[in-house]
Amino acid sequence: MNFKKNRLFIFALVCLMLVAFCAIGASAADETPTVPIDPPDVVSISLKEMPYKTRYVVGEKLDMTGAVLELTYDTGATGTSPVKTDWCTGFSSTKTGEKTVTIKYPDSTAKATFKIEVVTEKSIKVNPPKTLTYFVGDSEDRSGLSVSVVYSNGESAVLESGYTVSGFSSKSAGEKTITVKYKDLSASYKVSVFEPALDKIVIAKKPAKLSYYLGEKLDTSGIKVTAYYENGKTADVTSKITVTGDVTAAGTKKITVSYTERDIKKTATYNVSVTDVQIKNIVFESYPIKTVYAEGEIFDPTGISLKVTYNNGKVETVSGDNALYSGFDTDTVGEKTVTLHYGGYQLNFTVSVTVSQSHVHKEGPFLKTKEPTCTTEGEEATTCTVCFETVNTRKIPALGHGAESSPVKTKPQTCTEPGEMSTYCLVCGGVVEVSEIAPNGHTDGEPIFMPAPTCIASGVSKTFCTVCAAETKHEDLEPLGHSFSEWMVVIAPTRESEGNEMRVCTVCLYNENNAIAKLANSMTENGVTATLNSSTSFYPYNSSFKAEKITESVTADELAEFLPEGYVVIEVFEFTFTDKNGEEFIPASDITYSVEYALDTGKYSSFLICDTEMGRYTPFSEASRFSFTLQKSGRFILVGEEIPETQPETSDTLGETTSDIPASTTPTERSPIILVLVIISIILILIIAGLVYTYVFKQYY
């Protein structure tokens, strides 16, 4: 190809490329609207919460647990974030000293610093336990013992574990050295062990015999004595005791028990009673031979013998000649009771006195033998003053009733039975008149459960009369049913396993259990799914997600500042997260909100979701749903760019008809066209460069 001959063709080709680039620039300049779709940038950070650990021992690794950053965005908003170890530089624990650790937030120039100190463990310090004295046989008590490690900078920290304690022994008395070791460091303290001294003796069990009669010897069988030592321990020393005491006189006597150990003597006492020997009881062993006497005879005790029992158990027989007698006489005939007196005791026996064959009655005066009453006759008689036989009798007329009493209730009325009122003779007490009293009727008491109904069993309510206890009412009661408490979490759910919750009947303690689903990282409500993007984040147990459409409750003025030019409000959403206590919270993770919503692509050419708090927009175009990702909740506005009316067909200068083209092309629709034009332009540039190199440089050089 001749460059000179074809330079016109090359010039035309270059002009065509310039026209294409101008078209591309114009097309790019026409793209509207321009909206921010990138997330806000972090412009500065500061340590809101320091890490728990700021002092390290040589060789330890960095631990950022507890550290929290406060983030400031380019929008002016703020937020927080935990600190990851790989964000930090400047840490080294190979040498002691103060170190400055720098935190650099990812994808940002924002930095923050804090100080840590690296030390060595120089020594340990022991604060001895409260107990430093022991008795032989005691166990070691480390209550109050604390061990601190002292660092090279002079500071110290109490050790919770990791150290050992050795050297204690209470098998023998003496001073003991206790050694505390921690790694290569050690310290010690001393304790003293003593032999316990005898403190007292106690009669743990008294002898079986505590009562004596004069003449008996002291008996300590069954006694048990316990020795108490100053360390609180005890020992049975019964076989080594000495017992002294006097039981040769009547009364309460003190008996002394003694025990001596290592020149220490201790005593204890107990009391016994000593009693005189006395007669406890006497009975006839044999009765008198003569038991029938005539008038005028004297008493004869021949044949009487007594069995005498003493309080010490001794029994002996005593002749009746040693006793005294009373109650015997022969002046009158009949049965005579004779009383025997011996040792303060009395015994009675009976003898008979009869009349002689020549007896003549001696009649005495008339004496009443039966008193007359108001309704019955009386009687009187005379008797012989010797043999007491009746000699003569006669009747005494009845007296008749005298004055009457006031009516007296003689039979109380009951709930069902009538009572009686009676009038009595004031002389004889006899009943003169009886009248009836009407029954009282029942008096109901409080209902009583017999038995009471329970949560699952029926019961019975009965009412009884408070007077006669008769049952007056009976009612069958249905079971009460359970009264459950609130559900309580017994096993908290995790992301790997289910949990369990339980509620308990506050009456009978019956319980019910429910499984709690594993913790989820997404929740759906009203066609909106909120998914946590972090694989380690899960919604707390019993939390909830609320998604509402609040378009009608929001005024146009409130929405005006959030509308890009050419866009209108389609829907207003409000998303909130609530924990189990009803408090709102924001999950510690980015959240992807996926909304089931039919987007009208025939009416709108593009769609944006606007965050009203941060003022940023997220575009999307799928017709059946849209989604966006943030680490917040709140109010979000769905807006759409309305498609303008289409223009009529037009003819170009050659008379050809062009197809209908939408009045505006959305950024999403233009993007593929622009990309194709750019690629074609690059290819043309490369072709031209090759032609220039081939046909220009080669010809002239």
CATH number of 42-119: 2.60.40.3630
φ and ψ of 18, to 5 deg: -60, -40
pLDDT at 242: 92
Closest CA to 594 of 575, 571, 615: 575
CA distance 538 to 530: 11
Q: Are 490 and 500 in contact (CB under 8 A)?
A: yes
Share of the chain above pLDDT 90, in %: 37
CA distance 2 to 696: 10
Longest dimension (CA), the chain: 209
pLDDT at 100: 94
Q: Are 316 and 257 in contact (CB under 8 A)?
A: no
Give the tens place of pLDDT for each residue, 605-628: 888 888 877 666 777 656 566 777
pLDDT at 578: 94
Indicate the residue type of 159.
Answer: L
Cis peptide before 33 (omega within 30 of 0): yes
Q: SS3 for 558?
A: helix
Q: Say yes or no to pLDDT of 34 above 70.
A: no
Q: Say yes or no to pLDDT of 665 above 60.
A: no
Say which DSSP state 6 is in.
T
- Looking at CATH, the fold of the domain delimited by 279-354 is given as Immunoglobulin-like (2.60.40)
Q: Say yes or no to pLDDT of 657 above 60.
A: no
pLDDT at 653: 35
Say which DSSP state 350 is in.
E
Q: Are 161 and 149 in contact (CB under 8 A)?
A: no
Closest CA to 121 of 178, 165, 181, 64: 181
CA distance 309 to 327: 25
Q: Which residue has the tokens 């950053």?
A: 69
Which residues 6+ apart lie within 8 Å of 689 measured at CB? none
Q: Which residue has the tokens 């029926």?
A: 458
Give the tens place of pLDDT for each residue, 455-497: 989 999 999 999 888 888 999 999 989 999 988 888 888 878 8
Residue 480 CA to chain centroid, in angstroms? 26
Domain 121-194, CATH number (from 2.60.40.3630, 3.40.50.1260, 1.10.3470.10, 1.10.540.10): 2.60.40.3630
Q: Secondary structure of the chain: what % helix, strand, coil (to 5)?
A: 10, 45, 45
Of 15 and 314, the structure prediction assigns the larger pLDDT to 314
The yes-or-no answer to whether 42-119 and 121-194 have a common fold is yes
DSSP strands (E only) in 245-304: 251-261, 264-275, 279-286, 292-294
Q: Say yes or no to pLDDT of 646 above 80.
A: no
Dihedral angle of Cα 314, 320, 322, 325, to the nearest 10 degrees: 120
Q: Say yes or no to pLDDT of 211 above 50.
A: yes
CA distance 220 to 209: 7
Name the most confidently modeled range: 290-294, 478-482, 596-600, 619-623. 478-482
What is the arithmetic mean of pLDDT over 525-531? Answer: 89
Give the tens place of pLDDT for each residue, 496-522: 888 899 999 999 889 999 988 888 888
pLDDT at 13: 62
Cis peptide before 451 (omega within 30 of 0): yes
pLDDT at 401: 84
Domain ranges in the chain are: 7-32+666-699, 42-119, 121-194, 198-275, 279-354, 367-396, 408-437, 448-477, 522-642
pLDDT at 127: 94
- Average pLDDT of the chain? 84
pLDDT at 373: 85
Residue 224 CA to chain centroid, in angstroms? 46
pLDDT at 28: 45
- Looking at CATH, the fold of the domain delimited by 198-275 is given as Immunoglobulin-like (2.60.40)
Indicate the residue type of 558.
Answer: E
The encoded tokens of residue 566 equal 């050419």
φ and ψ of 148, to 5 deg: -120, 145
Give the tens place of pLDDT for each residue, 96-112: 999 999 999 998 899 99
Q: Are 562 and 612 in contact (CB under 8 A)?
A: yes
The encoded tokens of residue 236 equal 């049975």
Q: Say yes or no to pLDDT of 63 above 70.
A: yes
The encoded tokens of residue 382 equal 């005379």
Q: Say yes or no to pLDDT of 35 above 70.
A: no
Give the tens place of pLDDT for each residue, 110-128: 999 999 999 998 999 999 9
Q: Are 142 and 165 in contact (CB under 8 A)?
A: yes
Q: Say yes or no to pLDDT of 54 above 80.
A: yes
Of 533 and 189, the structure prediction assigns the larger pLDDT to 189
Closest CA to 104 of 94, 92, 112, 114: 112
Q: Are 348 and 326 in contact (CB under 8 A)?
A: no
Give the tens place of pLDDT for each residue, 137-194: 889 999 999 999 999 888 899 998 989 999 999 888 899 999 999 989 999 999 999 8
pLDDT at 666: 42
Q: Is the dihedral of CA 84, 86, 91, 95 positive or negative?
A: positive
CA distance 83 to 92: 18
pLDDT at 669: 44
pLDDT at 130: 92
Q: Say yes or no to pLDDT of 288 above 90.
A: yes
